[in-house]
Amino acid sequence: MTVTAWTFVLVGLSFALYIGVAVWSRARSTSEFYVAGTGVSPLANGMATAADWMSAASFISMAGIIAFQGYDGSVYLMGWTGGYVLLALLLAPYLRKFGAYTVPDFVGDRYYSQTARIVAVVCAIFVSFTYVAGQMRGVGIVFSRFLEVPIHIGVLIGMGIVFFYAVLGGMKGITYTQVAQYCVLIFAYLVPAIFLSLLITGNAIPQLGFGGVDQTSGTFLLDRLNDLHGELGFTAYTSGAKSTIDVFFITAALMVGTAGLPHVIIRFYTVPKVRDARISVGWALVFIALLYTAAPAVAVFARTNLLTTVSEQPYAEMPEWFTTWENTGLISFEDRNGDGVIQYVGPRAQDAAGAAIENELTIDQDIMVLANPEIAGLPNWVIGLVAAGGLAAALSTAAGLLLVVSSAVSHDLLKRGFRPDITEHGELIAARVSAGFAVVVAGYLGINPPGFVAEVVAFAFGLAAASFFPAIILGIFSKRMNREGAVLGMIAGITFTAAYIVYFKFINPGANTAEYWWFGISPEGIGTLGMLVNFTVALTVSRFTPPPPPQIAHLVDLIRVPRGAGEAHEISG
C-alpha cells in the first residue's frame, strides 16, 4: 500500500475511535460538562492530561527544534516537564480541595472580587485562543502533506471532529477521547523512534540508544554528530549557542507557564479526591516523560540522518521525500555555486583553502518528525501512523483549550458574572454555543493564520507565568494576600511581559538581539521576570492595603488540608 492509502486507513480508524468514545461518554449536566462529574480515575486523568498537554508543538515541532538547536533545545525538555513538579507540589491538591470549575473561579472567590475574576477570564481566553490557533494549523499541515488535500479542507475536517466531541461531550467526552488519543499518539511516536534506534545504534530503547555506539562508524553517536557539526561549521551539538542566563530564564518561564496554564490546571478538578489530584499529576508526568525522553533521541537520529543523506550529495539524486517536501515549500535549495551538489553548512564553514562556504539549503524545523521515517526509509505504515499521531496530539489539545474558552464564557462571565440567575440548562446551552463559536474562530485562525501564530504560542507561557501563577500561589500560601495586591500584581506582570514581547517582536524587531535585551533575556524568557514583577507588586501592595476579610483566612485554612473535598461545586460568597 502507498503512504497515502495507509494514512487514510490509520487516520480514518483513529477518527472513528474518537467519535465512538465521544458518543459513549456525552455530558448531561454542567458538572459533567465542566469537570466530568469529578469521577475520573487518577490514571485515566493522568493519561488525558498528557494528551491535553502534548500539542502539535510537542509531537511535530519539538524534536525538530532540538535537532537544529542541540543542547539549547533542552529548555523545552526541562521547561515543559519541570512545571509538573510545581503543579503537583504547589497547586493541584489545593485547587482540587477548593473544588471550583475554572481558574477564574478560584481567583474571583479567593480574592472576593469581580474585578479579579474578570482579569483572570480575559487572561484565560487570550492564552487559550492563541494556543488553539496553532493546533488547527498543525492539523492543516498534516492533512495537506499526507492526505494531499488543501490546508483549508484539512482544517475544516479537524474542526468538524473537535466540534462534535467537545460540544457534545464537554469535559467528560474530552477526557475519555483524550485517553484514546494518548494511546494513538504515544504509539505513533515510539514506533519510529524504536525503528530508528535499532537501525542506527542496534539498541531498541531510544533513550539509551542515542548515548550508544553508531553502527556505521563504530564511535559514539553523539561524538560522530559533534564531528559532523564541526566539519560543516555548526556549533557542537552537545553545547549550546544561547547564553546561560537566557537558557535559565526561558526554562523558568516555560516551567512556571506550564503550571499556570488554565487548560492544564482544570484537569485536576476532575478527579474524586485531593489524594487523587496529587498522584494524578505524577501519572501525567510519567506519560509525558515517555515522549519527552524519546524526543531528544529522535532529534539526534534525525539530525544524523539528515546530514549524511543530503550534505555534499548531488541535487539530482535526492530521494522522493526531498521533492515532496520541496513542493510544500518547507525545504528549499538554491545552487549558489552552480555545482549541482547540495552544500548544507553552518555559519563557520570553510573549504580547504580557508574560504567561506555558502549554505544552499533551508529546512523548516517543523518537518523533521514527519519526514524522519521517510528519510530513514521506514515502511509506509509507519509514516501513516506518524500522521495519525500528529493529528491526535493537535486535536486533543485543541479540545481541552476550547473547553476553557467555553467555560470562561458560560460559567465565569454569565453564571458568576453578569447573569447569576441563569438555569443549569441555560448554562449548558451557553457552554455549547460558546464552544461551537470558539471552534469556528479557531478554524478561521487556522486557515488564515496571522504570521505570528507560532511566536504567540510560545509567549502564551510567558503571559501565564506572569499572571496566574503568582496569584494562585499567593492565594494558597499567604493568608495576608488581599484583593488589591493580587489584581495589581496580575496587571503589572502581564502588562510588563506583553509590553516587552510586543516591543521586540512587533514594534522594533530589528533590535531583537542579545545586545538590546534587558540583562540578556530574550522575549521568550521574559515571563520569568514578569512573574517576579507580579510577586513584588502583589506583596508590596498587600502590605499597605486592608487585609482580606476573616472568612477568606478560614477558606485558606480549609484548602490546606485534604479532608472534606466533595464534588466540585458552586461556592457561595
Applying CB under 8 A, which residues contact another protein? 66, 71, 73-74, 77-78, 81-82, 84-85, 88-90, 93, 207-208, 211-213, 220-223, 238-239, 244, 247-248, 251-252, 273-275, 278-279, 281-282, 285-286, 289, 292-293, 296, 557, 560-565
Rounded to whole angstroms, the Cα distance separating 249 from 284 reads: 25
Asked whether 373 and 199 are in contact (CB, 8 A), the reply is: no
Nearest to 44 by CA among 284, 263, 274: 284
Q: Which is nearer to another protein, 54 or 139 (CB)?
A: 54
Q: How far is the CB of 468 from another protein (least distance, A)?
A: 19
Q: How far is the CB of 525 from another protein (least distance, A)?
A: 12
Q: Which is nearer to another protein, 85 or 491 (CB)?
A: 85
Asked whether 83 and 254 are in contact (CB, 8 A), the reply is: yes
C-alpha cell at position 520:
540578556
Q: Grid coordinates 490546508 are at which residue? A: 151
Q: How far is the CB of 501 from another protein (least distance, A)?
A: 22
Q: Which is nearer to another protein, 71 or 444 (CB)?
A: 71
Q: How far is the CB of 79 from another protein (least distance, A)?
A: 9
Q: How far is the CB of 557 from another protein (least distance, A)?
A: 7
Q: What kind and span of H or E run contains 363?
A: strand 361-363
Q: What's the longest Cα–Cα distance across the chain?
A: 81
Phi, psi of 38 (to 5 degrees): 45, 35
Q: How far is the CB of 567 from another protein (least distance, A)?
A: 13
Q: How far is the CB of 46 from another protein (least distance, A)?
A: 11
Residues linked to residue 88 through DSSP beta bridges, in sequence order: none
Q: Which is nearer to another protein, 23 or 208 (CB)?
A: 208
Rounded to whole angstroms, the Cα distance separating 175 from 181 reads: 10
Q: Which is nearer to another protein, 204 or 561 (CB)?
A: 561
Q: Which is nearer to another protein, 51 or 537 (CB)?
A: 51
Q: Which is nearer to another protein, 80 or 322 (CB)?
A: 80
Q: Which is nearer to another protein, 2 or 239 (CB)?
A: 239
Q: How far is the CB of 53 from another protein (least distance, A)?
A: 14
Nearest to 433 by CA among 409, 451, 415: 409
Q: Grid coordinates 566539519 are at which residue? A: 231
Asked whether 237 and 226 are in contact (CB, 8 A), the reply is: yes
Provide the 10 A C-beta neighbour count for residue 235.
Answer: 18
Rounded to whole angstroms, the Cα distance separating 530 from 465 reads: 8
Asked whether 489 and 541 are in contact (CB, 8 A), the reply is: yes
Q: Which is nearer to another protein, 222 or 382 (CB)?
A: 222
Rounded to whole angstroms, the Cα distance separating 143 from 365 reads: 18
Q: Grid coordinates 483566612 are at which residue? A: 553
Q: How far is the CB of 88 from another protein (least distance, A)?
A: 5
The SS3 call for residue 362 is: strand
Q: Which is nearer to another protein, 152 or 275 (CB)?
A: 275
Rounded to whole angstroms, the Cα distance separating 26 from 194 reads: 36
CA atoms within 13 A on the CB side of 270: 31
Q: Which is nearer to another protein, 282 or 346 (CB)?
A: 282
100: left (phi over 0), alpha (psi -120 to 50) or beta: beta
Rounded to whole angstroms, the Cα distance separating 445 from 134 reads: 8
C-alpha cell at position 123:
487572561
Q: How far is the CB of 265 from another protein (least distance, A)?
A: 16
C-alpha cell at position 65:
527544534
Name the burial class of residue 506, with classes exposed (0-12), middle (13-18) and buried (19+) by CB atoms within 10 angstroms of its CB.
exposed
Q: How far is the CB of 187 from another protein (least distance, A)?
A: 20
